[in-house]
Amino acid sequence: DIQMTQSPSSLSASVGDRVTITCRASQDISNYLNWYQHKPGKAPKRLIYAASSLQSGVPSRFSGSGSGTDFTLTINSLQPEDFATYYCQQSYRTPYTFGLGTKLEI
Amino acid sequence: QLQLQESGPGLVKPSETLSLTCTVSGGSISSDNFYWGWIRQPPGKGLEWIGSIYYSGSTYYNPSLKSRITISVDTSKNQFSLKVNSVTAADTAVYYCARLYSSGWSFDPWGQGTLVTVSS
C-alpha cells in the first residue's frame, strides 16, 4: 500500500495567518493527490483534487501544489470557518489511502 | 445538489454482520462517470477506504477487508450497500459513503457518516 505521511499532525494559528500542510507519499503518485476538510459531525468536503485543482465553490485562499511524492496545501488569510481537520488522499493506486490528518486549531 | 445519506443499525454484536445503506438523492446512481464508495474512520484513527462499486455492479475492495465485505448496488432505489461479516470491536467506526470520480478517483460529496459500534 502507498503510505501517506502528513505533517504537522496539529497546528495552531490565528485568523489572517497563512498556513501550509505537507503530505508525502511513499512512492511517486504523479498528481493523484486530493485534499479534504473535515469538521466534527459534518461530511468531509473535497477542497483540492489532482494536486492543484480547486473544487468549485471553495474559496481561492485554498491552494494545492506538488507532484511525485511531495505535496502541500496552503491556506492564505485564515478565516474562522477554516479551523478543521485536513486530510490528503492518494488516488494513484488502490487501496486508496489517506494521511492521518492535520488538526488546525485557533 | 447531490446528497448521500448513510443508514443502518448503530450497534452490532461481535461476530455478526454489519449492514449499511447509502441513499443517493439529487442525482442518479447510474452515471457513467462515477463510482460509489465506502470509507470508515475508527475512533481516534485515520480514514480507511473500504471499497467501491459501479452502477453495473462491478466492485473493487481494500485487500485488508476483502474477505469480509460485500458492496452491492440497487439502481431502482438509487442506493448502494455495505456488508461486513464477522465483525469485531476493531470494526467500530464512523462509516461514510461517498461518490467517487472515475477521473482522478477523488471522493465528493460525502455523506455525514454514521457511527457503528460493535459490542455485546
Q: What is the pLDDT of residue A106?
A: 84
Q: What is the pLDDT of residue B8?
A: 97
Q: What is the pLDDT of residue A42?
A: 92
Tell me the per-residue pLDDT of A88-98, one tens digit each, with 9 for 90 and over.
999 999 999 99
d(C-alpha A43, C-alpha B119), whole Å: 25
Give the mean pLDDT of B75-80: 98
State chain B's mean pLDDT as an integer: 97
Q: What is the pLDDT of residue B60?
A: 95
For CA atoms A76, A82, A84, A88, give the dihedral sign. negative
Residues belonging to chain A with any Cβ–Cβ distance to chain B shorter than 8 Å: 32, 34, 36, 41-46, 49-50, 55, 87, 89, 91, 94-101
Q: Choose the closest CB to A46 out of B48, B49, B106.
A: B106
Integer CA distances (angstroms), A35 to A76, B34, B75, in order: 16, 19, 29
B42 interfaces chain A, CB cutoff of 8 Å? no
State chain A's mean pLDDT as an integer: 97
d(C-alpha B84, C-alpha B91), whole Å: 9
Q: What is the pLDDT of residue B91?
A: 98
Tell me the per-residue pLDDT of B4-23, one tens digit each, with 9 for 90 and over.
999 999 999 999 999 999 99
What's the gap in Å between the CA of A76 and the closest CA on chain B? 23
CB contacts of A94 in chain B (<8 Å) are 49, 60, 62
**Looking at chain A, which residue has its C-alpha nearest residue B107?**
A46
CB A35 within 8 A of CB A73: yes
Give the mean pLDDT of A1-23: 97
Contact B110 A55 (CB under 8 A): no
For residue A98, how many other CB atoms are within 10 A of its CB? 22
Give the mean pLDDT of A25-47: 96
d(C-alpha B54, C-alpha B32), whole Å: 8
Q: What is the pLDDT of residue B106?
A: 95
Tell me the per-residue pLDDT of A48-67, one tens digit each, with 9 for 90 and over.
999 999 999 999 999 999 99
Cell 468549485 locates to A56
- Is beta strand A45-49 parallel, antiparallel or unpaired with respect to A53-54? antiparallel
Give the mean pLDDT of B97-112: 94
DSSP structure string for B18-79 = EEEEEEEESS-S--TTEEEEEEEE-TTS--EEEEEE-TTS-EEE-TTTGGGEEEEEETTTTE
Q: What is residue A76's DSSP assignment?
A: S
**Is pLDDT at A104 greater than 90 in this prediction?**
yes
Q: Choose the closest CB to A98 out of B46, B64, B98.
A: B46
B89 interfaces chain A, CB cutoff of 8 Å? no
**Is pLDDT at A33 greater than 90 in this prediction?**
yes
d(C-alpha A73, C-alpha B76), whole Å: 40
